[in-house]
Amino acid sequence: MLKNKMLQHVALGALVTSGMSSTAFAQLQDEVIVTATKRAETASDVPIAVAALGEKTLDELNVNIFTDYLVQLPGVSAGGSGPGQSTIYIRGVASTTPTLSIAGVAGLAPNVAFYLDEQPLSQPGRNLDVYAADLERVEVLSGPQGTLFGASSQAGTVRLITNKPKLGVEEASFKMGTSFTKGGEMSYNAEAVYNAPVGENTALRAVIYFDDQGGYIDNKPGTINLRESARFRPAGTVRSNGVPVAPFRGGFTSTPADIAALDAGDVNFIDADNSNIAEDDFNDTQYFGFRLSARHEFNDDWSLDVGYGHQELDSEGVFFYDPNIDGEGELSINRFEDEYLEDDFDNVNWTLKGRLGELEALYTGAFTDRDTNQRIDYTDYLFVGQYLPYYICEGSVTYANYYSGTPAGTCYAPNSAVPSISETKVQTHEFRVNTPAENRWRATVGAFYSDLELKERNDFQYFGFLNPGVAFGANNVANFAQTNARPDFVTPGAFPAETVFRNDIRRTDEQFGVFGEGTFDISDQFALTVGARYYDIAVDLEGSANATFCNSGGTDENAFGTNISDLYDGDGSYTFIGSCNQALHQVFDLTDTIASIEAAGLSTGQATQVFNALRAPDKAETSGVIMKVTGTYTPNDDLLFYATYSQGFRPGLLNRPGGAFQPATNFTVPFELDTDDVDNFELGWKTTLADNQLRFNGSAFYIDITNLQTTIFDTSIVNLFFSDNAADAKVLGVEGDFTYAPISVDGLTLSGAFSFLDSEITNVITPTGDVVQGDELAFAPSFQGNLRARYEWDTGGGLTGHVMPSIVYSSASNSDILRQNTDRVQGYTQVGLATGLTGDNWTAEIFANNLFDDSGEISRFYGNDRERITPVRPRTIGARIAYNFR
């Protein structure tokens, strides 16, 4: 797979401050220039834990897919399952990763900000998967960066910095490669870059890339039926993750008499059979994209950069396997419906830089338009969805008390799917000024604005649905064109007969911020930095989330669902839909009390829910100020020590099923989430030692987390994903990296990195019983480390040879903070090897990733009560070449 996971075996963290040249025959090379403080400085001069990989290092590591290298950095992990479906975590600040069926409408805001140049690209639920083509550098800032980078910089910030057009220079380059994965398919990739001057003051730059990554997971032939449904599972049953089914989550049809009837064959369970779509190596992926940019210098002080990028990501199948089929490490799964992802985006951006007197001024803006079209197999829902048999079993099975008293009849094949489409439009603007860097007092001050609109539609389709005459009318708020209308619908809709539930939701996130950070040099050795940011954020939901029940012929559009537009309109009125007869719907307002609502015929629980719904907010709004204080001690040019207190936050959101109630735990789904906040206390060091032969950087930190957000799927409460502020937590950690280039051995560079984490839930807020004090946070391995050696030598004839062995290790971690949804992500040890030759303008290399074919795990998902393991790619061997035209 020639998006090479070179990172899976390379000690990337060790290079995070080196930007090492490919001809390191002496001491450490000059460091990469970073803009982590929104000023250009070397990595060793900034009192921040920043990892910076320069262009040559990125080439050495053959980094193409950014998340693949992030997951290999100590202190950085990734939840999710495959291209376009990953979430980045830094320093163990993580709770869960939602499924992609609801990533947009119910997804938490990321707690790690993701930037392309000056523009934030973080989006709810899932980040953009930007192909790492023609990059100048990559910066990873660990710890809260909210004062300068705003919301979602709670745990850190990741920045891709692209190469800009070069004035007066014509140059071109290309690289290409191929590889083979054990038990999988061939992979190929290619990338070309061209830079051209246009007159003296203008230049253009273009990059185009393609990457075809072969699959390695097999969709094996298999069958499944509804006998495994959660509806027929008694309370107390111990699930495969060791957590028993709670009493209030026991199956509706699971008494001893029910089970005896099921086992006696009184119910005919019809199998779903996937033999028509079974396929080896079915998880193929293709990236295609290009980027065009231009730079114009008006004079010595002012310049303008503009750019346009387009990318298409297409994948098939899934990137996880089921260890219950052929055993752990055997990459097999049974999927019963075709699955694919099409994820395309267009991005336009501009940056104007110049001087206003002594001030450096910058205005930057961007517009991003993203469209996804995805179809996932939803058959696994049968393991947790108690109401699924209602739709695909005869009533004599699911409601036996109205018939023979015990289940009897037929349950049809449970294969199901969720086709989803989304449209996301984001615009961002930032203006800031810097005072001169040489001033004893120096400051950065600016303002930021962003506006995101996300429209998402999910159609949940059960192909064994027994009552195709029951169907939807149109949604209250239809964000997408209504097609495929059926003539027997009173209100035409876009729903085929098998669609039994649908989300059609519009989400908006609007942010405004004012920020500043100032530094005062107390002396030549001591400096004090103080930063602050004021933020104002509003998140809104409109639309509906509806089931088919009581929607015959479109006569009732909202029964047994949520009219989100009504719930979150802030008008003080609410329509209670408790009957299939639309004429019997009841409207209440703020003058009603619980008693008056009960008097209208509602139960106490219903009356309480309506009373609360009348007071639901219009939007999830939050505002406040976060701070940062850093003291820096620089005894000489080779040593820097710093102490930092910094704050970070993540905005809240509205819940689709706000107000849903679980009597067994006295839990009510909140309408609105609070922000979750972190306080970070950090001591760090940057050192260059041994006559510029050794660079050793690191930090020790303590993070206090308040109101940690998480996503919950608990059918005992409601058949919708929702989010809550689940817990308080803490993380204690130490991280570091070194690069050693001994003068005594020309051409040798040794690198290493490590991260120790100790995370713990300190206080439980959510009363479901699934979050337990003392448990670890998700995706927070207690230790990660790597080592790499690169040796280069002159082979004669103007050629340089190199060899690069490496090893990377990660200990185990949890996949979720909810006991019922968690599984243990096993650790891994991977070894890699690369060797090649470099001439004046070319490089050729052969490589082996995961040399000993370790069956390591990147992630696990247990949200549907079954293990789903996302593995590292098996042993991959390949070759690549690169050529520069100058």
> What pLDDT digit, counting tens, does each position of 781-790 carry?
999 998 999 9
Position 126 pLDDT exceeds 80: no
Is 361 buried (19+), middle (13-18) or exposed (0-12) by CB count in 10 A?
Answer: middle
Confidence of residue 849 (pLDDT cuts 50, 70, 90): very high
CA atoms within 13 A on the CB side of 742: 7
Pairing of strands 223-224, 272-273: antiparallel
Confidence of residue 2 (pLDDT cuts 50, 70, 90): very low
For 320, the token pair is: 């996880």
Model confidence pLDDT, tens digit, residues 629-670: 999 999 999 999 999 999 999 988 888 888 877 777 777 889
- Any residues with CB less than 8 A from the CB of 231 and at least 6 apart, and which? 251, 252, 253, 254, 386, 387, 388, 389, 398
Model confidence pLDDT, tens digit, residues 241-253: 889 988 878 899 9
Domains of the chain from N-terminus onward:
6-222+278-377+421-454+510-538+620-885 (2.40.170.20)
From the list 34, 92, 86, the residue with the least C-alpha distance to 65 is: 86
pLDDT, greater one: 703 or 495: 703
- Phi and psi at 808, nearest 5°, equal -135, 140
Residue 546: the pLDDT is 72
Residue 29: the pLDDT is 64
Q: What average pLDDT score do residues 723-750 get?
A: 94
From the list 138, 152, 111, the residue with the least C-alpha distance to 36 is: 138
Q: Could you give the CA distance from residue 131 to residue 138 in angstroms, rounded to a whole number?
A: 12
Is 371 buried (19+), middle (13-18) or exposed (0-12) by CB count in 10 A?
Answer: middle
Position 9 pLDDT exceeds 70: no
Query: What end-to-end distance do the CA atoms of the chain give, in Å?
Result: 30
Q: Could you give the CA distance from residue 853 to residue 591 in angstroms, rounded to a whole number?
A: 68
Q: Could you give the CA distance from residue 695 to residue 329 in angstroms, rounded to a whole number?
A: 38
Q: Could you give the CA distance from residue 14 to residue 20 in angstroms, rounded to a whole number?
A: 10
What single-letter DSSP state applies at residue 466? S
What is the per-residue DSSP string for 498-527? Answer: TEEEEEEEEEEEEEEEEEEEEEEESSSSEE
For 154, the token pair is: 């709670």
Check if the beta carbon of residue 120 is closer than 8 Å to that of residue 651. no
pTM of the model: 0.90
Check if the beta carbon of residue 763 is closer than 8 Å to that of residue 739. no
Average pLDDT of the residues of the chain: 86
pLDDT, greater one: 562 or 682: 682
Check if the beta carbon of residue 144 is closer than 8 Å to that of residue 646. yes
Residue 636: the pLDDT is 95
Q: What average pLDDT score do residues 519-539 get?
A: 96
Q: What average pLDDT score do residues 38-61 get?
A: 84
Check if the beta carbon of residue 56 is closer than 8 Å to that of residue 19. yes
From the list 699, 862, 803, the residue with the least C-alpha distance to 79 is: 862
Burial annotation 205-232 (CB, 10 A radius, 16+ → b, else e) = bbbbbbbbbbbbbbbbebebbbeebbbb
Range in 230-234, 374-378, 490-494, 825-829 the model is least confident about: 490-494
Q: Could you give the CA distance from residue 48 to residue 641 in angstroms, rounded to a whole number?
A: 10
- Any residues with CB less than 8 A from the CB of 248 and at least 6 apart, and which? 235, 662, 664, 665, 716
Residue 703: the pLDDT is 97
Range in 147-161, 301-315, 587-601 the model is least confident about: 147-161
Q: What average pLDDT score do residues 228-237 get?
A: 93
Q: What average pLDDT score do residues 377-392 get?
A: 91
Q: What average pLDDT score do residues 219-230 get?
A: 95
Residue 662: the pLDDT is 72
Residue 71: the pLDDT is 62
For 637, the token pair is: 């040019």
Tokens 């005594």 found at: 744
Model confidence pLDDT, tens digit, residues 145-187: 888 888 788 999 989 999 999 999 999 999 999 999 999 999 9
Residue 28: the pLDDT is 66
Please tell me whether residue 57 adopts helix, strand or coil conformation: helix
Q: Could you give the CA distance from residue 378 to residue 465 in angstroms, rounded to a whole number?
A: 14
Position 118 pLDDT exceeds 70: yes
Check if the beta carbon of residue 416 is closer than 8 Å to that of residue 378. yes
Residue 585: the pLDDT is 76
Please tell me whether residue 613 adopts helix, strand or coil conformation: helix
pLDDT, greater one: 877 or 107: 877
CA atoms within 13 A on the CB side of 110: 27
- CA dihedral sign, ordered 161, 165, 166, 172: positive
Residue 780: the pLDDT is 94
Q: Could you give the CA distance from residue 95 to residue 776 in angstroms, rounded to a whole number?
A: 10
For 565, the token pair is: 């537009």
Model confidence pLDDT, tens digit, residues 535-545: 999 999 888 77
Residue 98: the pLDDT is 57
Q: Could you give the CA distance from residue 447 to residue 433 in angstroms, rounded to a whole number?
A: 10
H or E element in which residue 324 lies: helix 323-326
In this structure, the number of other CB atoms found within 10 A of the CB of residue 537 comes to 24
Cα→Cα distances 362→353, 396, 531, Å: 5, 70, 19
Position 303 pLDDT exceeds 50: yes
Check if the beta carbon of residue 620 is closer than 8 Å to that of residue 538. yes
Residue 281: the pLDDT is 97
For 410, the token pair is: 């037929």
Position 11 pLDDT exceeds 60: no
Q: What average pLDDT score do residues 180-195 get?
A: 97
Residue 582: the pLDDT is 61
What single-letter DSSP state applies at residue 736? E
